[in-house]
Amino acid sequence: MPRTVAPLTDTAIRKAKPGPKPAKLRDGGGLYVQVNPDGSRWWRWDYRRPITGKQNTLSFGTYPEVSLADARERRAEARRQVAAGIDPGEHRKAEKAAGQERSANSFEVVAREWLGKQGWVDKYRVKIVAWMENDVFPWIGSRPVSELTAPDFLRVARRIEERGAIESAHRIMQNCGQVMRYAIATGRADRNPVADLRGALAPPVERHHAAITDPKQLGGLLRAIDDYAGDAVTRAAMRLAPLVFVRPGELRHAEWSEIDLEKAEWNIPAHKMKMREPHLVPLSSQALEILRDLQPLTGSRQYVFPGGRSPKRPLSENAITAALRRMGFDKDTMTGHGFRATARTLLDEELGWRPDLIEHQLAHAVRDPNGRAYNRTSHLSERKKMMQAWGDYLDRCRTSGGKVVHISQGRAA
């Protein structure tokens, strides 16, 4: 007759003393507790694999974390799998592999991979990462990208909208859409559900950088800059800003090594540009005069406009804005970024230059009729004429309000 095994009890398991070698406390049906010399108690189950009939052992965890009742339930489930022709050990390996695959394809993993491939400036990268970590990853970061739906992303956006950050909700969803497109390109998702949110989000409040676009008011601003009695470097930066109309950060970080006074060109490298493409700024005679006047003061340093506290750092981010405020131009009248809108408006409406030339000089993405992107030297001859015409126009604004006759070379066909 086969030897019977008395069922285990919690008391028997607790009282079992560890010895010099592992000992087995059997519960029957192949289930037992292995008491190790270090005092640990592991649930084990011996079974024969379907088809091959070879013996195998499966672990059910440790006692008391896994109770006696739990271990018996796990044995019962494993026996049902064997009866159905399923090897419990191989089934567990498959589940673990599937879980690892789900983790490798989670939204957070894919998003961080995508973030690592973006050539953004550090300040912008930090902002995007913070958005993701605070507003996206806690809600859908662990979900596989292939399982995410439009309602999942909408719920994320609604939480952002509820705190009044409407514009941020749109920007974050734009980034989420880029992550999903990357997931599709890398074979981890079949479609981009963010695209289905069009029209579902609250419209953002349209905001513009305050800018002066009236020629007479612009003349007053230019005269005020000429009369500015503050720091000479800040005054030079303000005088150059309307002539080149680059972004404030690009102006502050200008280096003498990028400027060729003989060719009258400023070559801004890609890593300093928002669109991560190199940009060429033709310099008018007025811009050259400002730079030549400044060269004896800062030409031996790295930055054209070094900071007041340390010459190894560029001009402060708030220097131009603070100077504008001291001159009496409030935030609703003019900003450092507003020089770009001033140039865009008046080059078109007052001087009649082609919009594509203006947009290209603003370093915006512009394509030719064949869909090809302009490069840094595209239409350079026309842009040089435009920049000189702009410098001459600003001189006229200082003295007569800027009334001019449209320049035929720059008009759209």
User: Is residue 279 helix, strand or coil?
Assistant: strand
Residues linked to residue 158 through DSSP beta bridges, in sequence order: none
Token pair listed for 364: 């915006």
Which residue is it, tokens 């990853």? 137
Q: Is 247 a catalytic residue?
A: yes
Question: Is residue 15 a contact partner of residue 35, using CB atoms and an 8 Å limit?
Answer: no
> Considering 374, 384, 396, 398, which one is annotated as catalytic?
374
> Considering 279, 337, 344, 383, which one is annotated as catalytic?
337
User: Is residue 58 helix, strand or coil?
Assistant: strand
Contact residues for 148 (Cβ-Cβ < 8 A; gap 6+): 107, 140, 180, 189, 193
Cα(88)–Cα(393) distance, integer angstroms: 82
Q: Is 274 a catalytic residue?
A: yes
> Considering 41, 188, 239, 247, which one is annotated as catalytic?
247
Cα(284)–Cα(264) distance, integer angstroms: 7
Token pair listed for 15: 């009282």
Q: Is 340 a catalytic residue?
A: yes
Pairing state of beta strands 41-48 and 31-35?
A: antiparallel
> Considering 44, 364, 379, 385, which one is annotated as catalytic?
364
> Considering 252, 340, 344, 360, which one is annotated as catalytic?
340
Q: Is 181 a catalytic residue?
A: no
Residue type at position 37: P
What DSSP string runs through 127-150?
A: HHHHHIIIIIHHHHTTSBGGG--H
Cα(78)–Cα(81) distance, integer angstroms: 5
User: Is residue 59 helix, strand or coil?
Assistant: strand
Cα(173)–Cα(87) distance, integer angstroms: 44
State residue 148 phi and psi, 5-degree precision.
-75, 145
Residue type at position 264: A
Cα(405)–Cα(298) distance, integer angstroms: 38
Question: Is residue 392 a contact partner of residue 400, using CB atoms and an 8 Å limit?
Answer: no
Give the containing element (helix H, strand E) for 48: strand 41-48
> Considering 92, 125, 274, 398, which one is annotated as catalytic?
274
Measured between alpha carbons, how far is residue 10 from residues 4, 37, 71, 99, 391 in Å? 19, 19, 12, 33, 91
Catalytic amino acids?
247, 274, 337, 340, 364, 374
